Structures are given as structure tokens and as C-alpha cells.
Structure 1
Amino acid sequence: MEGNQAVLKGKAIFSGTLTVETGLHIGAGSDFAPIGAVDSTFVRDTLTHVPIIPGSSLKGKMRTLLAKKSATGYILHSIDQDNDVIARLFGMAGKNKVQPARLQFYDLFMTEDSKELFSQLDTDTYMGEIKAENVINRLSGAANPRFIERVPAGAQFAFKLVYNLETDDPQELQEDLKTLKEGLELITYDYLGGHGSRGYGRISFADLTLKGIGMPADQESKLVSLWEGIDA
């Protein structure tokens, strides 16, 4: 099995704010819902019960969108056939190749301002809203109602993402940062979570900044300039 370990030359920390533009549902999973109860709840922080966005949801969506963008056919290829840039950004664990991920995603927690705002509102659930949906039987016309818990529009989350700097090759670095920026932009024109075809899960990013850790100041300055100069 081929491995690809690289020397760590520093870390680039991306920080910003993710805003929920339309109700967001990332399911917590439930095997049973009593009659009249919410059929599908969203994932919460176990300790505080405040809504969170798992980093795995953001990573999985971004990788899938980038893979679709680079696909050459109608059918999306398997994950072990992702191109070199996607493989080194998101990682690879195939039969013949192991590629550690350069990107490290964090779970997203509600900002303090959003927690204060939504804790004072009269919402359907604690910091959540209930959206009634109907599945209509085409033959009989009968409605099958269900109730989905969503993070309300306007909620803001602290976004954090780490990129491991493992190369001095300017072309490779350009490819990595350009692909990352493309991934972030693609998500804003798609959706996070479930029921996206119904309008759920639209998000936006704001105030994205880059800070270098464990690298010389001139290297950090070059990274910032490169990032700001890239058109997704």
C-alpha cells in the first residue's frame, strides 16, 4: 500500500461566520416518534442542547460537490478515483493508496450573539422551528403529514477550518487554495443537510480570514495574498 506522509510546514487557520439563510435540518436520528411529535429533530450539542453543524456534514458536502464538478461522465466516480487535489485536501484511504487529509474541519457552534437572540425568542422548540411537510399519494390524493425541526434562518455559527501546509511548490499550493475556495463557493449555491430540493439548508459565509500558525511571517503574508487573489 502506497503512503504519502509529508513534512508539516505550518498551519493556515480559516475563520469566519456561517449564516443560515433558510431553515436548516441536519438530522440527529430517531428510531421512534410518538403521534403528534416531531418526526425528525436536528443535531444538538449534548451539553447545552444548542444546535450545531457537524464538521463532517460540511466536509462531505464540499467533497461531493467538488467531485461532481471534476467528473467527466454522468455517473459520479467512486471516492478512490478523486483527482489528486481532492485526495490530498480531503484524504484518501483506498486499497492501493493512503493520503492523509490536509484539511481539518471543525464542528460549528452557534455564535454568542445568536444564542442570546434565539434563547429570547418564542420558538417552537429550544432555538428551533417546526416545519410541517406533507407527502401526497399521487393515486389516492391522501396526505401523510410529518414535522421537521429546523435551525431558523438568521442563525449564525462560528466557522473554523485548518489547512496543513505541506508543500513549497507554488503551483500545488495555488491548486489547493483555489479548490478550497471553489468548494466553499459551491456550497453557497447548493445546500447543507436534508430536504435541499424544498429550499432547506441555504447558507452563506462572511468575514473569512486566514491566519498562519507555526510559519514565518513572510510565509503567512504570501498565503494571505494568494488566498485573497484567487477567484473561485
Structure 2
Amino acid sequence: MRQQALKGKLYIQAQLTVLTGLHIGAGSDFAPIGAVDSPFIRDPFTKQPIIPGSSVKGKIRTLLAKSLSPSYVLQKIEEDDERIQRLFGSAAKDSARPARLQFFDMKMTADSVRQFDAMELDTYIGEVKFENSIDRLTATANPRQIERVPAGAAFQFQLVYNIESPEELIEDMQFLADGFKLLQMDYLGGHGSRGYGRVRLSDFHVGVFSLQKEELGVDTAQFEQLFEGCNIL
């Protein structure tokens, strides 16, 4: 069976630090005169920048799939590595399965909000990067303004893993650690080839919760050390 009984939950916390300006765009049908051409996504209540969990989940999954793909063109979802399917789920027809990983939208830490709130920035906790693309045939300039989360901003990274098969737990965590390492060697959001979106994960904390009477034997310190070892920046 592709889905098994729930044995417990593994809770993973860390700090995600933005190393270079980060842009995850927020769609807008209306841009008043003088506004930034491409704003980043914000929490509608606090107006502070957030990082959607879907962005992190999709990025890590894609990086893992690309790393295991035999060619430049990715295979179909149902042909993904078994570890990818059980961690990130699959909506493929006739072989759908739920994900063991549950990602959270990331909010800035309280300390980081206080730090940047006291700074004079282009926008509220944001900087504006002026860029200019040049048409190679006509030499026509196309200036634009891109809003970025400034380097140094810290976010609360949270992730829950469903423990369904204790025998696969270590393998799943090692594979997830590979995903963390790939993410830190790549980028989040857009314009990564121009230096945007470099991030670092640090200060991992792993906890476990289970209503099962039998002892799962989960060594959370082992996983914390494993994830911390992924920090190469």
C-alpha cells in the first residue's frame, strides 16, 4: 500500500537566512504610477514579506528530481524516484499518494522584523533593485524595478514529517538533507542566475510526537546533526 498507518510526527524547525536579495513575486493586476513594477509577496495582515511553503517544497522537489533524472528533460511525476514520491506526494492519475512532508509558509523572525523595521529602506522591509534589459537587435532599453527582501532577513522554517514507516525514517531524512543541501547551492524565487535568492538553513531543532504506546526509537539529535551538516554557506 502507498499510504500506511500514522505512527507519529517529526517536527523540524530551523532558521532560513536570506544571503542575497530575494524576490518571490506577488501577482498584481493594477500598478499605480510610481509603484514598483514587480513587488514581492507579503502577509496581507502584517504587510511583512513571507516565503510560501509551496515555493520551498516545489524547489526542493525539482532539484532532487533533476539530480536523479537521466536526461535534461524530467520524467513524468509517476516515474519519479520512490523517495521523492513518498516525501512530496504524487497527483499522478491512478497512482496518487499523499505527501509525508508538510511545509509551512515562512514568516520573518521577531528579531529580524525589529531590525529591518528600524532601517530606512525603499519599501517596508524591502529594497528596490533597478534593472535594465537591452534588446540585442534594437539596443532598446527596458528598465524595471524589482522589490527584494534584503540580505540578512531571517525567517522561521517549519516542516512536519509523517512517520508512517520507522524502517524508512533514516533514509527519508538523509534524502531530505540532500534536498536542503541542493537548495543552499541553488536559489529561491526568481532571477537566481543574476544572484538573487541565495539562502542558508541553520539552527535546526527536531522533535517527535506520537500517541503510539510502542517506542519509536527516534534519535532527534542525530537528525539535527545531519541537517546542520548540510550548511555549506
TM-score, with length taken from structure 2: 0.92
Aligned length in residues: 228
- CA distance in 2 between partners of 1:19 and 1:133 (Å): 24
Q: Of 17, 20, 42, which aligns to 2:18?
A: 20
Residue 142 of structure 1 and its aligned partner are, at CA, apart by 2.0
Structure 2 partner of 1:176: 172
Counterpart code for 1:174? I
- CA distance in 2 between partners of 1:67 and 1:115 (Å): 35
Residue 34 of structure 1 and its aligned partner are, at CA, apart by 4.0
Instruction: Indicate conservation of the 8 Å contact 1:50/1:110, yes or no.
Output: yes
Instruction: Indicate conservation of the 8 Å contact 1:20/1:204, yes or no.
Output: yes
Structure 2 partner of 1:10: 8
For residues 189 and 217 of structure 1, do their structure 2 counterparts lie closer, same or farther at Cα, with a shift above 3 Å needed?
farther
1:214 aligns with 2:210: yes
- CA distance in 2 between partners of 1:109 and 1:28 (Å): 16
Residue 214 of structure 1 and its aligned partner are, at CA, apart by 1.5
1:86 alignment partner, SS class: helix
- CA offsets 1:167-190 (integer angstroms, 9 cap, x no match): 032xx2222111100001100000
Deviates most, 212-221 or 10-19: 212-221
- CA offsets 1:142-192 (integer angstroms, 9 cap, x no match): 2110000000000000110011000032xx222211110000110000000
2:132 alignment partner, SS class: strand
Counterpart code for 1:55? G
Alignment of structure 1 residues 4-153 onto 2, 5 Å: 4-153=2-151
Instruction: Indicate conservation of the 8 Å contact 1:211/1:220, yes or no.
Output: no
For residues 224 and 10 of structure 1, do their structure 2 counterparts lie closer, same or farther at Cα, with a shift above 3 Å needed?
farther
- CA distance in 1 between partners of 2:201 and 2:92 (Å): 32
Counterpart code for 1:31? D
- CA distance in 1 between partners of 2:152 and 2:135 (Å): 34
- CA distance in 2 between partners of 1:14 and 1:196 (Å): 26
Deviates most, 149-158 or 36-45: 36-45
Percent of pairs identical after alignment? 53
- CA distance in 1 between partners of 2:217 and 2:117 (Å): 39
| Runs of at least 5 residues in structure 2 that lack an aligned partner in the other structure | none
| Runs of at least 5 residues in structure 1 that lack an aligned partner in the other structure | none
Counterpart code for 2:170? Q
2:16 alignment partner, SS class: strand
- CA distance in 1 between partners of 2:130 and 2:2 (Å): 49
1:197 aligns with 2:172: no
Residue 221 of structure 1 and its aligned partner are, at CA, apart by 4.2
For residues 227 and 83 of structure 1, do their structure 2 counterparts lie closer, same or farther at Cα, with a shift above 3 Å needed?
farther
Counterpart code for 2:98? P
1:194 alignment partner, SS class: coil
Instruction: Indicate conservation of the 8 Å contact 1:91/1:101, yes or no.
Output: yes
For residues 56 and 123 of structure 1, do their structure 2 counterparts lie closer, same or farther at Cα, with a shift above 3 Å needed?
same
> RMSD in angstroms over aligned alpha carbons?
1.9
Residue 227 of structure 1 and its aligned partner are, at CA, apart by 5.7
Counterpart code for 1:84? E
- CA offsets 1:48-101 (integer angstroms, 9 cap, x no match): 000000000000000000000110112111222211110000001111212110
